[in-house]
Structure 1
């Protein structure tokens, strides 16, 4: 089948390449000339416009930065036909962006009104997961559409979870990343506290990674060099998952918290901390680099 993949950035391009490896015809597009050049240098098929990529496609993937970009691409921008108008009738639209739950539900409604099918399928696993086809997909939409998409998602990821109806993939993603942000801050604070108390990084890691403090933020994304050689701390906090993206996701969590009236003080505090981090160099560093901010602000 013909598959369009729009959004060929650090995540999107390796995802699209893994999808193409299944034998389907995959045509990509990105608004960034640099991303297009990188994709073409990698031998990936790239169209001149997004609608050219989606023309006659049976499946359309989007991997964008904001929900408004998804909605604009689906609909009509500046009078030009949107993706929904050029894809095959009954095409399956799969949005892998991380956007607000209400925006995901709007995208579903637009697709269905145009005679198409839709899933929200945000991902977790970062660039390494995208490159190695080990991403986790959190999927919202109907049972039938989920089953149709499953083989394609499994070509790009190791774990594919159907979370429920429209928007609930995004709901799972925003909840997961709020947990991740809070735990990454807690791990960083513990290491700084350990430093002040004279505890070595390795000793703290050896204890906590085998005790009740064990978590992904410690055992995979350890914020200090040494204990986990593959963590961003060993490469000067090159992302992984950048502080700007964590701040964006926590903004979505903050929006969800406000709209539901949930008492989520830790989530709000994590948003405040990462907002400051993303205002500076942390925007382009891995979010585990928050440990440097904690050190700098400790008296």
Structure 2
């Protein structure tokens, strides 16, 4: 079958079956995008300009903010155009670029929040950072040193790039149906697989394997890491120490829960119309909602970031913080 997508592109149906929601979603998505730009840019500025935030945790936090900025910019402008007007098309090249970048950034974020393989031992990058901070605080600066941080980040980006190179070409070579209608608001692998009129067994197996490796395995490792953290915290003698330890990890755990639950709902959903319809809303949340919530979670719950913000404005409130 001839691939009909190359010369004319695709139609992104998005939420066209809910026309009464499109204008509301436009306002919500636009506001979320602006908050994402402001919040993540602020975190990048604070992490760069304030020497007190030049620590491993804020290094990973600034990586996450950079990912979120690129992640949303890859899909939100196209989404806003589709939600506002009747034009819901995207060129084959535009879809390919969006698909490649979205897969690269999404996989990299899964690795940063999820596993890292070093010396044949899998850790969660940020969960490992929190594990050492809570369970081995005296060894933190020697275990989590700047060189290791750069190595972990480089490995995460390299794995994301490799996953895109492996996953995207077979997806784009599928024989797409002539109607070229993608039942989604952006080009994603599951949506393009559903659009194919040919045999997609290989693509589905590839997607399932990737889902296990980059979603279920990282989530399991994170739960194991936090199990160890919980045991260490419960052995702490003072309630103040317990509160401090839980506060250290709570922001990362919130982000992990929001991100993984929504991505799993999209990439590991069953094959039925209800699940696919629900998956679009979950996809909207992890593409737009999670990058908006990430800086809010970190800045509202983290005293160091708030202090850094006031110092940036020339108002040192260190003495006023409790």
The TM-score, its normalising length taken from structure 2, stands at 0.28
The TM-score, its normalising length taken from structure 1, stands at 0.30
User: Considering only CA atoms, is the larger Rg found in Structure 1 or Structure 2?
Assistant: 2
**Greater fraction of residues in strand:** 1
